[in-house]
């Protein structure tokens, strides 16, 4: 899909996607502003010029500037009082950024860059817009270059701002949380004023996730405007609802208070901010995001993610060759395809107080290295994976004793630890080189198929003598660069993003990782709510879910094994329990459920997701996946008498004229399944707590 000049209009363009249009241009009366004229359903070509009418100020008093909330990159400068996307301080303390449009540069049919310049202070600002022919997601970014001979200090550099039509409505959806309760869905009325969602942790964070959806929509109806930032460090997204009624959203890397020095000649390019307009409610918005992630973000979208076993909840730091092999044997019997050895295999790491940074096999536990363990894993028919936490160091480690200057720190300030660890500065070339060397060495020596890349604390005292606050950008870019290089050197390597659970889940990290550890909370009931929020933006294949022991080690809640499986089967299935303690009955049930998952895995991991009903984990709920002729429904009923469950569950998105057959051979018309519904056995009014089921349907006949 192209970005085209709007016929009959000067300096005005339309970014066209299959179903939407995004029209923007240089404001005719004043070439200091690039404004958004329209963002919504696709318009006929002849109508494009119409939506640019009335763009100039219609009512200007000394206190009112109507263009405030429609600029692609409102700056802190001139007559503007809204949230700035670009704030800079020039030499002499000059704060007013005054840009004028220079030219539009086409970088191929789907990509346009508008170039603006502050003539006096030599700041070049490029506004990038890119569209693709298979998605309605519009990608935007900003690149600033200091073409002057003096340094400029940036206080805010967002990727871009988006304006919503005044009739869009002011309901929003987003996710927020904490450790163990990530990505909990929040919906509400956007208040008049400025609402900021942010992370100051140096990572995407458990607290919030960098996206927002706005619109008066339901799950399956209504227009939704979504904005997401593809970035894995600190970030900020501000939704500004003006009393006049309009809403604008600006998003970018970094958090409030940071100052980025831009040396003469230096350039800084933001991560992409992505905008998506959809009709069809939050459900359709999610499906469009999933399709975008598959088409343009994920490194290996066509692959099926293997069923993995992870040792963390079973053995903690108590990692031994025999212990891991005992788990591996059981895992292989269940049908597990990838065995991941978690924390505790290296250096002097027998608890969380020491050894982090010393990335060689623990000489007491693995005197001959990890070869025998991984040979054993491979002999059992599984692939081999290993946990690493490259960005961290325990002060009690050889690495720290040798390189205390490699951690984030300020002279004369404390170095506060969290979980007894400090953060290594991945902005530094020497630290990056060290990390790449040992990671590459490990992957090469053991032929690793998989790394679980963990990151277990937020930044504090984040000083960097050479780079200052650029640390908050460069650290993340360092992580990206190392992952990218590892993948380039080892094309078969797959990576899981983890940050104390789901602290680093975003469309930036997903460009170089295949899945995300969703949460350290593996309690199936809690997980349902976490997974619901996760599913708003990210596809099921990226959502790592383990079945662990009962009662759950984190919450103490006892949930039947089948229910635990059915919850974990909603994403990429894994097992994380202590299999040496599972009974023969549990192992047999697990084997059956792993096999059932593998049967439907393509549908769950690559299909279209529909959140059918309910509040997951709290009331009866169900989620549907559709791929080609196949439909999979996971239905959950956590309580016996909490609420009377609905009798029937109406499916969505089927062919009304086709006939579908379930596993028992019963046949129903698509129209009946959609408009009348099926009756989940687990929703019968009386029965034990935590009933669940998986219904599998196949389209067997077309026509009526």
Catalytic residue numbers read 454, 520
Q: How far is the CB of 387 from ligand DGJ (least distance, A)?
A: 5
Give CA–CA dist 285/265, Å, rounded: 41
Query: What is the three-class DSSP state of 560?
Result: coil
Nearest-CB residue to ligand DGJ? 343
Q: How far is the CB of 503 from ligand DGJ (least distance, A)?
A: 8
Q: How far is the CB of 454 from ligand DGJ (least distance, A)?
A: 5
Q: Supply 489's token pair.
A: 């050197």
Nearer to ligand DGJ, 325 or 498 (CB): 498
Checking 458-462 for CB contacts under 8 A at 24+ apart, the result is: 458/200, 458/201, 458/202, 458/203, 458/205, 458/418, 459/201, 459/202, 459/234, 459/408, 459/423, 460/408, 460/416, 460/418, 461/408, 461/409, 461/410, 461/413, 461/414, 461/415, 461/416, 462/202, 462/408, 462/423
Question: CA–CA distance from 515 to each of 164, 490, 511, 598 (Å)?
Answer: 32, 17, 10, 17
Q: Are 184 and 278 in contact (CB under 8 A)?
A: no
Nearer to ligand DGJ, 249 or 498 (CB): 498
Q: Supply 277's token pair.
A: 């307009």
Core vs surface per residue 117-154: b (16+ CB within 10 A) or e: bbeebbbbbbbbbbbbeebbbbbbbbbbbbbbeeebbb
Give CA–CA dist 686/684, Å, rounded: 6
Nearer to ligand DGJ, 258 or 448 (CB): 448
Q: How far is the CB of 517 from ligand DGJ (least distance, A)?
A: 5
Helix (H) or strand (E) run with residue 123 in it: strand 123-130
Q: With 0-12 CB in 10 A as exposed, 13-18 as middle and 19+ as buried, what is 43?
A: middle
Identify which of 507, 488, 490, 501 has the alpha carbon closest to the alpha carbon of residue 530: 501
Q: How far is the CB of 476 from ligand DGJ (least distance, A)?
A: 19
Nearer to ligand DGJ, 387 or 426 (CB): 387
Q: Which residue has the tokens 């999933």?
A: 290
Report residue 682: phi and psi, to 5°.
-70, -5
Identify which of 607, 665, 667, 612 has the alpha carbon closest to the alpha carbon of residue 635: 612
Q: Which residue has the tokens 């404390």?
A: 414
Nearer to ligand DGJ, 554 or 696 (CB): 554
Nearer to ligand DGJ, 316 or 463 (CB): 316
Q: How far is the CB of 319 from ligand DGJ (least distance, A)?
A: 11
Q: How far is the CB of 392 from ligand DGJ (least distance, A)?
A: 10
Q: Are 350 and 317 in contact (CB under 8 A)?
A: yes
- In this structure, the strands spanning 543-547 and 572-575 are parallel
Q: How far is the CB of 496 from ligand DGJ (least distance, A)?
A: 10
Q: How far is the CB of 501 from ligand DGJ (least distance, A)?
A: 5
DSSP string, 140-184: EEEEEEE-SSS-EEEEEEEEEEEEE-GGG-SEEEEEE--TTSTTE
Q: How far is the CB of 567 from ligand DGJ (least distance, A)?
A: 17
Nearer to ligand DGJ, 50 or 351 (CB): 351
Q: Which residue has the tokens 């220079």?
A: 102
Q: How far is the CB of 389 from ligand DGJ (least distance, A)?
A: 7
Q: Rule CB under 6 A: which residues touch ligand DGJ? A: 312, 342-343, 387, 454, 456, 498, 500-501, 517, 520
CB count within 10 Å of CB 112 equals: 22
Sign of CA dihedral 221, 225, 231, 235: negative
Nearer to ligand DGJ, 35 or 495 (CB): 495
Give CA–CA dist 616/320, Å, rounded: 38
Nearer to ligand DGJ, 387 or 660 (CB): 387
Nearer to ligand DGJ, 211 or 453 (CB): 453
Q: How far is the CB of 500 from ligand DGJ (least distance, A)?
A: 5
Beta bridge partners of 146: 123
Q: Are 250 and 74 in contact (CB under 8 A)?
A: yes
Question: CA–CA distance from 465 to each of 19, 234, 242, 254, 410 (Å)?
Answer: 49, 19, 41, 18, 8
Nearer to ligand DGJ, 360 or 639 (CB): 360
Sign of CA dihedral 28, 31, 32, 38: positive
Q: Which residues contact 217 (CB under 8 A, 6 or more apart)?
A: 169, 171, 223, 224, 281, 282, 285
Nearer to ligand DGJ, 156 or 349 (CB): 349
């Amino acid at each position: 899909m192209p970005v085209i000049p709007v016929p009959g209009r000067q300096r005005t363009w339309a970014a066209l996607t299959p179903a939407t249009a995004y029209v923007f241009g240089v404001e005719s009366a004043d070439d200091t502003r690039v404004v958004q004229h329209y963002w919504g359903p696709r318009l006929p070509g002849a109508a494009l010029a119409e939506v640019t009418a009335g763009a100039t100020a219609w009512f200007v008093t000394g206190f009112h500037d109507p263009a405030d909330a429609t600029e692609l990159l409102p700056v802190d400068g001139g007559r503007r009082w809204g949230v700035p996307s670009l704030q800079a301080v020039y030499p002499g303390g000059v704060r007013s950024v005054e840009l004028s449009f220079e030219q539009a540069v086409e970088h191929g049919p789907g990509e346009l860059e508008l170039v603006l310049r502050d003539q006096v202070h030599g700041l070049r600002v490029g506004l990038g817009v890119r569209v693709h022919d298979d998605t309605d997601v519009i990608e935007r970014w900003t690149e600033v270059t200091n073409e002057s001979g003096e340094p400029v200090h940036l206080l805010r550099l967002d990727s871009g701002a988006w304006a919503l039509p005044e009739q869009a409505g002011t309901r929003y959806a987003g996710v927020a949380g904490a450790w163990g309760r990530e990505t909990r869905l929040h919906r509400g009325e956007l208040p008049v004023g400025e609402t900021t969602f942010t992370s100051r942790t140096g990572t995407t964070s458990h607290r919030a996730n960098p996206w927002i959806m706005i619109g008066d929509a339901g799950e399956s109806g209504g227009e939704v405007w979504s904005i997401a930032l593809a970035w894995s460090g600190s970030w900020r997204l501000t939704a500004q609802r003006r009393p006049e009624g309009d809403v604008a959203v600006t998003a970018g890397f970094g958090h409030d208070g940071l100052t980025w020095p831009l040396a003469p000649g230096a350039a800084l390019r933001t991560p992409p901010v992505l905008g998506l307009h959809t009709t069809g409610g939050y459900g359709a918005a999610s499906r469009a995001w999933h399709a975008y992630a598959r088409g343009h973000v994920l490194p290996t979208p066509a692959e099926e993610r293997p069923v993995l076993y992870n040792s963390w909840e079973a053995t903690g730091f108590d990692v031994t060759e025999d212990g891991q092999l005992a788990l591996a044997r059981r895992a292989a019997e269940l049908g597990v395809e990838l065995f991941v050895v978690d924390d505790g295999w290296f250096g002097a790491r027998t608890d969380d107080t020491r050894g982090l940074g010393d990335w060689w096999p623990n000489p007491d536990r693995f005197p001959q290295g990890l070869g025998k363990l991984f040979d054993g894993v491979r002999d059992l028919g599984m692939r081999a994976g290993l946990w690493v936490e490259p960005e961290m160091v325990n002060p009690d480690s050889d690495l720290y004793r040798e390189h205390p200057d490699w951690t984030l720190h300020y002279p004369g300030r404390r170095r506060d630890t969290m979980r007894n660890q400090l953060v290594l500065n991945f902005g530094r070339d020497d630290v990056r080189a060290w990390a790449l060397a040992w990671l590459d060495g490990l992957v090469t020596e053991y032929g690793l198929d998989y790394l679980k890349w963990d990151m277990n604390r937020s930044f504090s005292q984040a000083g960097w003598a050479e780079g200052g606050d650029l640390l908050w950008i460069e650290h993340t870019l360092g992580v990206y660069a190392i992952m990218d290089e590892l993948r380039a050197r080892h094309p078969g390597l797959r990576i899981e993003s983890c940050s104390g659970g789901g602290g680093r889940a975003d469309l930036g990290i997903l460009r170089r990782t295949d899945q995300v550890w969703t949460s350290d909370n593996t309690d199936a009931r809690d997980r349902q709510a976490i997974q619901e929020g996760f599913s708003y933006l990210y596809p099921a294949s990226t959502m790592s879910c383990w079945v662990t022991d009962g009662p759950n080690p984190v919450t103490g809640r006892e949930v039947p094994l089948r229910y635990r499986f059915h919850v974990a089967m909603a994403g990429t299935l894994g097992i994380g329990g202590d299999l040496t303690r599972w009974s023969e009955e549990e192992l047999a049930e697990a084997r059956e459920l792993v096999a059932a998952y593998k049967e439907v895995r393509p549908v769950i991991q690559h299909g279209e997701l529909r959140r059918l009903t309910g509040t997951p984990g709290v009331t009866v709920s169900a989620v549907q996946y559709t791929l080609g002729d196949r439909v999979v429904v996971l239905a959950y009923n956590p309580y016996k008498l909490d609420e009377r469950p609905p009798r029937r569950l109406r499916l969505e998105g089927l062919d009304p004229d086709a006939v579908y057959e379930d596993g028992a051979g019963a046949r129903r018309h698509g129209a009946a399944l959609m408009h009348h519904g099926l009756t989940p056995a687990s929703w019968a009014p009386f029965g034990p707590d935590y009933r669940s089921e998986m219904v599998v349907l196949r389209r067997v006949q077309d026509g009526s």
